[in-house]
Structure 1
Amino acid sequence: MKRVAFILLSLFLLVTGCAPDYDEQEEVIQENQKNDKREKAIVAKYSISKDYYRPLEKYKPGKARGVLMNQVANRLDIEEMEIGLRRHSKDVFDPEDYFFQEGQYLTEDMLYDWLERKLTQQQVNELLEGASQELSAEELQRGLNPSLKDDATEEDYRDRPRYLSHILEHNFLQKNEDGTVEVEGISIGLALRSTYRFQPVKYGAYHYEQISREESLKQGKQLAQTVLERIRKIEALTDVPIMIALYRQEERGSMVPGNFMTKTTVKGSDMTIKEWQPIQEDYVLFPSDEAKEEHRDDSELIADFQAKIAEYFPNYIGVVGKGFYKDDELAKLTIDIPIEFKGKTEVIGISQYVYSLIVEKFPTYFALEVNIESHNGQESLIFREPGDEKPTVHIYGQ
C-alpha cells in the first residue's frame, strides 16, 4: 500500500504540474498537558488530499505502539482497524479543521492491564494477602474481559471468552487563537473477536469458540461504556468529544479483514453513551460462496474477467478479488493477478489486455485497483477512481 500511495502521489503531482511546497509551514505551539509547558510544533500547510489529516511535523508514536501487532493476529485486521477508525473519525473530526496524532493517553501498560481478565474475588484476596505493598481491590481489578477461576474447565472457557482484543486510540488537535495546539477530540476503536482461541490445559491442544455478531455487539457496547468512564478520569480528557467504534475481527487466516459494526459520539464531559449508529460495511472475497450468494452480479463479473484472462495469457495463475461494500453497494474492488514472470514483454501485454477488459466490462461507480504480481514482486498497477472512464496504468521498471 505504501507503494500504491507513492505512485498515486507521483501521478497527481505530474498531472497538476506543481508540487506542494513543504518549506511553507506554519509554526504552532503544542500544549503539554502534563506539565503545562508549551512546545513548538510545525504543521505542514498541505496534505496529500482533503481526505488526509495534516500531521505535526515531529511525529509522535502512540504511547501503546506495538500493542495492536501483539493482540490482533490477522495483519489485514490490523490495517483495516487503523485505516477504518480514521475513516469514520472524519465524520466527527473534519480533516479541514483538525490535525492528527497517534494516541498519547492510553499507554502500553494501561492497555495490557485492561485487556486482561477481571479477577475473581478469590484471586483478588490472594493477591492482596501476598502483596509486598498496600494495594486496593480497585487497583488490582483492571481487566475488562470476563473473569475465570484458576481451575476452569473447557466449558468455563467456552462460556467466558476473551471478547476484547485491543483498544486503539487516535487524537485530533486544533489550533487556538494564541497559537497553541491541543487535543480537542479522540477516537477509540474496540477490537472484538469473532473466534476465541483458548488452551484449557497448559501445553495442550488449542480449542476454538465462535462468537456471534450479536454477542460481539452486546459485549462491545457494555465494554465501551466502561472504557468511556475510565477515559474521563484522565485529566486531559475530562471534557473532550469522544468517538467510539466497535470493530469485529475476522478469523486468524482470513484473506479479507473484518469490519466496523457500529459507532457513537459522546459530547465533551458526558459520561454516558446514549445511542449507537449502525455501520453497514463488509469485505467480501472473490471467488467465494459468500460472494455468489450475496453479490451474484459482481461474482459473475469477476468470474468472466478471470476466464478472459485465462484464455489470453498462458502463464496466468489465478485471480483473487477483495470487494469493500458500504450500505451493500460495492465501493472499492481490489484484484490481485499472480503470473509466472517470463519477461517484461509479457507484463506489458497482460497489463494492456487487463486495461481493455476494465474499460469494456467494469462499471465506473466504484474504485478499482488491479495488482499484477510475480515471484519478483509487483510488476504493474492499474487503478481507477470512481466516475473515471479510463484507468491509469503503471508498469514498474518502465
Structure 2
Amino acid sequence: MWRKTGVLMAASFLLLTGCIPGLQPDQQEEGVETEENEQTTEEDTVEVSPEVPSLDNYYRSVLQDGQYISGAARTFHRDVMYNRMDLERMSAGMQELAAQEFSQEDYFFRAGQLISSSELNSWLMRQAEDNQAGLNPPLADADNFEARERNNPRPLSNIIEHNYMVENNNGNLELGGMVIGLSMNSIYYFRQENEDGTYGPWLEESISRQQSMEAARNMASQILERLRSEDRQNGALQDIPIMFTVFREAPRESSVPGNFIATGTAAPGESVGNWQNLNEDYVLFPSTEANENHRQDSEAFNQFRDEVNAFFENFVGVVGEGYYQNDEWRELTVDIPITFYNETEVIAFTQHVTDKVEQHFPNLDVEVRINSSEGQEALIVKDVGEESFTHMY
C-alpha cells in the first residue's frame, strides 16, 4: 500500500564506523533535556538497517550502536500537536513525499538532529520584542484579548525535521538532504487566562487553505535562510537540497487526520521554488460527509458493512477510513470490533470478511483490522492486483 510506513527489524547490518558529518545537533539551551540526542563519538558504531523484502518501499534507517537515533525534538512534537492522527500522518507522509527528491536506493533516513527543542519552540511562538525568531505573526493591535488573537491567528502549529543521509567516498554517512514539514492550523484555538489562574472557554478562528499556503511559503523562506546560515553546521546546509512539505491539520473533533496541501524544494544555493499543490483527503465511513461528497463510495461501503454484519446475529460496528488522492479513492482502512467466542468462529468470520473485501473493493488497497476485547484477532491486507493476505493473531 502506497502510504504504509513501519519500523524494520535488523537482521544484518552494513557497518560504517567513525564520526558521521552532520550528526552533531545544535547546542541545546540550558534546561532542555538532551539525553535522547547524544552526539556520536569515535567509539560509536554507526549502522543502517538492512533491506527487507516487502510489498512497500521503505527508507533504511540510520542506527547508532544498534539503536534508532531519536529526533532532537521528539517529545516536543507530541506536546504541540493536539491530534495524534495528525502527527502520525504527517511524519509518515513526509517520508512518502521525500522519495520524490531522495531515492530510497541511495538515501538513509534519520530523524531530525539539527533543530533543537528550544530553538523550535521559539520559532513556533509569536514574533515579539523578546522573541524575534517567532514565525507566527505578532498579536493584532486591538482593545481586547479576543480581538488581538482573532484578528491575527497563528497559522503555524508545528515543524518536523527529517534528515536524509548518503554514503560518501570514504564509506561514511553524511547529510545529503533535508525535509522540513510545516504543520498548519486549519482552525486556531485560543482561550484567555483569568487573573485567578483559571481559563475561559475555548475560542476558535478558521484559517483558509489560501491563508495557510501564503503563510507557509513565507515561513519556508525564513527557515531556509536560518538553516543555511554559516553559523549552522559551518554552512554545510548550503550545499544540500531542502524540501518543504505543507500539512494542514484537521479540526480537533475530527475522526480522520489532516492532509498535505503542497511541497516546495530549494536546490543547493537557491531559494524555495518548484511549489506543487497536492490534493489528498481522508473520509470517514459511514458519515454525513461521505454521503454528501462521495455518495457512490458511501453506498459501496454501507453494502460491505451490511454483508459483514450478516455473519453475526448481533450488529457489529464497522468503521472505515478512505484515502483520496486527486479526488480518486485509493485506499480503505477498516476496523471491526467483535465479541470473541472461539478461534474457529474468528477464522470463519475472517474468511467471510476477506471474501466481501475482494467482492466490493477490487480496485482499492484495503487493510482490515479485526479486534476483540482480548486484542487484535486478525489482519487482512489486499493490494490492488494482488491476492489478499490474512494473518491470525
Q: TM-score range by the shorter chain?
A: 0.7 to 0.9
Shift of 1:149: 6.6
Correspondence 1:42 to 2:47: yes
Is 2:247–2:259's contact at 8 Å kept on the other side of the alignment?
yes
Q: Distance in 2 between matches of 1:44 and 1:214?
A: 40
Q: Deviations over 1:125-161 (max 9, x none)?
A: xx6xxxxxxxxxxxx4111111127974212211111
Letter in 2 for 1:394: H
Letter in 1 for 2:322: G
Q: Quickly say closer, same or farther: Cα 1:177–1:337, change in 2 above 3 A.
A: same
Unmatched runs of 5 consecutive residues or more in structure 1: 10-19, 128-139
Superposition map of 1:245-256 within 5 A: 245-256=245-256
Unmatched runs of 5 consecutive residues or more in structure 2: 25-38
Aligned counterpart for 2:138 among listed residues 147, 150, 166 = 147
Bigger CA radius of gyration: 1
Residue of structure 1 in register with 2:125 after alignment: 116
Residue of structure 2 in register with 1:222 after alignment: 218
Superposition map of 1:1-398 within 5 A: 22-23=11-12, 25-33=14-22, 40-49=45-54, 51-58=57-64, 59-119=68-128, 124=129, 140-148=131-139, 152-202=144-194, 203-233=199-229, 234=232, 235-270=235-270, 272-363=271-362, 365-388=363-386, 390-396=387-393
280-289 or 335-344, which deviates more: 335-344
Is 2:16–2:173's contact at 8 Å kept on the other side of the alignment?
no
Shift of 1:48: 4.8
Shift of 1:377: 1.7
Is 2:126–2:135's contact at 8 Å kept on the other side of the alignment?
yes
SS of the residue corresponding to residue 238 of structure 1 reads helix
Q: Distance in 1 between matches of 2:40 and 2:203?
A: 50
SS of the residue corresponding to residue 310 of structure 2 reads helix
Shift of 1:29: 4.4
Letter in 1 for 2:125: E
Shift of 1:82: 0.3
Q: Distance in 1 between matches of 2:61 and 2:204?
A: 41
Shift of 1:292: 2.0
Is 1:26–1:45's contact at 8 Å kept on the other side of the alignment?
no
Q: Distance in 1 between matches of 2:323 and 2:146?
A: 37
SS of the residue corresponding to residue 291 of structure 1 reads helix
Q: Quickly say closer, same or farther: Cα 1:66–1:166, change in 2 above 3 A.
A: same
378-387 or 95-104, which deviates more: 378-387
Q: Quickly say closer, same or farther: Cα 1:5–1:144, change in 2 above 3 A.
A: closer
SS of the residue corresponding to residue 57 of structure 1 reads strand
Shift of 1:317: 2.6
Shift of 1:240: 1.1
- Structure-2-length-normalised TM-score: 0.85
Q: Quickly say closer, same or farther: Cα 1:25–1:319, change in 2 above 3 A.
A: same
217-226 or 337-346, which deviates more: 337-346
Q: Quickly say closer, same or farther: Cα 1:336–1:148, change in 2 above 3 A.
A: same
Q: Deviations over 1:304-352 (max 9, x none)?
A: 0111122231234311110111222222110111122333333222212
Q: Quickly say closer, same or farther: Cα 1:36–1:26, change in 2 above 3 A.
A: closer
Q: Distance in 1 between matches of 2:11 and 2:389?
A: 27
SS of the residue corresponding to residue 300 of structure 1 reads helix
Is 2:140–2:147's contact at 8 Å kept on the other side of the alignment?
no
SS of the residue corresponding to residue 70 of structure 2 reads coil
Residue of structure 2 in register with 1:12 after alignment: none
Q: Distance in 1 between matches of 2:41 and 2:344?
A: 61
Shift of 1:245: 0.6
Q: Quickly say closer, same or farther: Cα 1:393–1:23, change in 2 above 3 A.
A: closer
Q: Distance in 2 between matches of 1:48 and 1:55?
A: 15
Letter in 2 for 1:52: Y
Is 2:334–2:369's contact at 8 Å kept on the other side of the alignment?
yes
Is 1:238–1:269's contact at 8 Å kept on the other side of the alignment?
yes
Q: How many residues align?
A: 361
Q: Distance in 1 between matches of 2:40 and 2:304?
A: 60
- Structure-1-length-normalised TM-score: 0.84
Q: Distance in 2 between matches of 1:247 and 1:157?
A: 22
Q: Distance in 2 between matches of 1:70 and 1:212?
A: 24
Q: Distance in 2 between matches of 1:211 and 1:29?
A: 48
49-58 or 239-248, which deviates more: 49-58
Q: Distance in 2 between matches of 1:361 and 1:346?
A: 23
Letter in 2 for 1:143: G
Is 1:383–1:391's contact at 8 Å kept on the other side of the alignment?
yes
Q: Distance in 2 between matches of 1:36 and 1:78?
A: 28
SS of the residue corresponding to residue 218 of structure 2 reads helix
Q: Distance in 1 between matches of 2:179 and 2:81?
A: 19
Is 2:126–2:136's contact at 8 Å kept on the other side of the alignment?
yes
Shift of 1:244: 0.2
Q: Distance in 2 between matches of 1:54 and 1:5?
A: 11
Q: Deviations over 1:157-202 (max 9, x none)?
A: 1111111111000000111112221101000000001111101343
Shift of 1:5: 8.0
Shift of 1:24: 5.2
Is 2:5–2:58's contact at 8 Å kept on the other side of the alignment?
no
Greater helix proportion: 1
SS of the residue corresponding to residue 197 of structure 1 reads strand
Is 2:178–2:243's contact at 8 Å kept on the other side of the alignment?
yes
Q: Distance in 1 between matches of 2:375 and 2:57?
A: 29
Letter in 1 for 2:60: R
Q: Deviations over 1:82-128 (max 9, x none)?
A: 00000000110011010110111011000001011111xxxx3xx6x
Q: Distance in 1 between matches of 2:316 and 2:148?
A: 46
Shift of 1:261: 0.2
